Amino acid sequence: MSYDFEAVIDRSNNYSAKWSEMDKKYGSNDLLPMWVADMDFKTAPCIIDAMRERLEQGIYGYTTRPDSYNESIVNWAARRYGWEIKSDWLIFSPGVIPSVSLIIQEMTEKNDKIMIQEPVYSPFNSVVKDNGRELVISPLVKLEDGNYVMDYEDIESKIKDVKMFILCNPHNPVGRVWTKEELQNLGDICIKHNVKVISDEIHSDIIFNGHKHTPFASINEEFAQNSITCMAPTKTFNIAGLQMSQVVLPNEEDYKRLDSAFARIDIRRNNAFSLVATEAAYNHGEEWLDEFIVYLEGNVDFAIKYIEENIPSLKVKKPEGTYLLWVDFSGTGLSDEEVAKALVEEGKVALNNGTSFGIGGKGYQRINLACPRVMVEDGLARIKKAITK
């Protein structure tokens, strides 16, 4: 490997949410953090170099995006997913969840129904409720082999009067990379019932061997016109602290509406560093990303083997993408509260409680594996200690 994914970097004192906010949630910072979805790897050198050059100029005034910024996104989508998008479909936003919130405010009315599928990244639930919209939940179904699928019958039975569907593609936390057929089925239901789709594709670049990300809007023109895609380089390159993302909006009318909503709250400009980091990542970060995925998949395979051999009371299925492992702890015989307490007090490890992902999360924990292998090993040993004592 030409990039170093083995180095353990001390983040305990660098204002990291993952490392320094455990005391608020778990009562102590003296834990190994395997919760918040960022990585403990340095980002790609091309990004650091671009930011260093920007830093050394010493002037950090208001920015303006050159055409090459959007072109880097357009080219990335074409190269990585075979998705032909246009520069003038793109809207800058500092984050995916801020975009989702603003889209809800602009495209729906108070008390309108919005559907999500749980278990899912918890802000999907709160962003709907916090905006005064009514939440409609269609739970994912777990099959005998541990694979998760969408429940189309359940969706159809609940979708009457729903205005919007928020899709997690690929899916956090269950690690599904939805196939074209699955997305087509969902999209057809949404077209039939006139439901606008927001497709959160923030995890679209972290896909394991044998799987392929399908942008929802790439499936056909009807889906493109009926959807709003949110994507970002932030998970891909571990640059979430720079705060940038893009909304992809082929529907001209929706584009104008959302563009003016962002303008109204004056969120239009990148900060000085996200500006150069985005272009560097999308133009020059591919080699780093490909190596990272190989290393990460090694972590995932290692963790699954370790669990099978050393903590057989846990059940896990290999994710198809993302750096998140969704693990069933129900076989331990412990309640969720007991598991959570043991992990923190005995294991000294911070995981995400499954219940925070909503329906279907009971009995589960989410483990973030985007860290050097020695930390994965350490974390798993801590989990073993907590569960098997």
Ligand X SMILES: Cc1ncc(COP(=O)(O)O)c(C=O)c1O
According to the binding rule CB under 6 A, does residue 96 interact with ligand X?
yes
According to the binding rule CB under 6 A, does residue 37 interact with ligand X?
yes
- Asked if residue 297 lies in contact with residue 208, where contact means CB atoms within 8 angstroms, the answer is yes
3-state secondary structure of 366: strand
Contacting range for ligand X; rule: CB under 6 A; set: 90-98, 147-155, 308-316, 341-349: 90-98
3-state secondary structure of 36: coil
Distance CA 4, CA 288 (A): 10
Nearer to ligand X, 69 or 306 (CB): 69
Nearer to ligand X, 95 or 139 (CB): 95
What is the smallest separation between the CB atom of 203 and ligand X, expressed in angstroms?
6
Distance CA 155, CA 118 (A): 12
According to the binding rule CB under 6 A, does residue 40 interact with ligand X?
no
- Sign of dihedral through CA atoms 138, 113, 198, 65? negative
Nearer to ligand X, 77 or 100 (CB): 100
According to the binding rule CB under 6 A, does residue 97 interact with ligand X?
yes
What is the smallest separation between the CB atom of 206 and ligand X, expressed in angstroms?
11
According to the binding rule CB under 6 A, does residue 127 interact with ligand X?
no
Distance CA 387, CA 389 (A): 6
Q: How far is CA 43 from the centre of its chain?
A: 17
Contacting range for ligand X; rule: CB under 6 A; set: 91-99, 217-225, 280-288, 356-364: 91-99
- Asked if residue 354 lies in contact with residue 365, where contact means CB atoms within 8 angstroms, the answer is yes
Nearer to ligand X, 204 or 306 (CB): 204
- Given candidates 29, 42, 48, 95, which one binds ligand X under the rule CB under 6 A? 95
Site for ligand X in 225-244 (CB under 6 A): 232, 234, 240
Q: How far is CA 208 from the centre of its chain?
A: 15
Q: Which residues contact 298 (CB under 8 A, 6 or more apart)?
A: 373
Beta bridge partners of 135: 114
Helices (H), 193-285: 221-225, 234-237, 252-264, 272-284
- Given candidates 72, 101, 172, 278, which one binds ligand X under the rule CB under 6 A? 172
- Asked if residue 135 lies in contact with residue 280, where contact means CB atoms within 8 angstroms, the answer is no
According to the binding rule CB under 6 A, does residue 368 interact with ligand X?
no
Nearer to ligand X, 235 or 382 (CB): 235
Residue 42, phi-psi category: left (phi > 0), alpha (psi -120 to 50), beta (remainder): beta
According to the binding rule CB under 6 A, does residue 202 interact with ligand X?
yes
What is the smallest separation between the CB atom of 124 and ligand X, expressed in angstroms?
8
According to the binding rule CB under 6 A, does residue 200 interact with ligand X?
yes
- Given candidates 245, 246, 352, 353, which one binds ligand X under the rule CB under 6 A? 245
Q: Which residues bind ligand X (CB under 6 A)?
A: 37, 95-97, 121, 168, 172, 200, 202, 232, 234, 240, 245
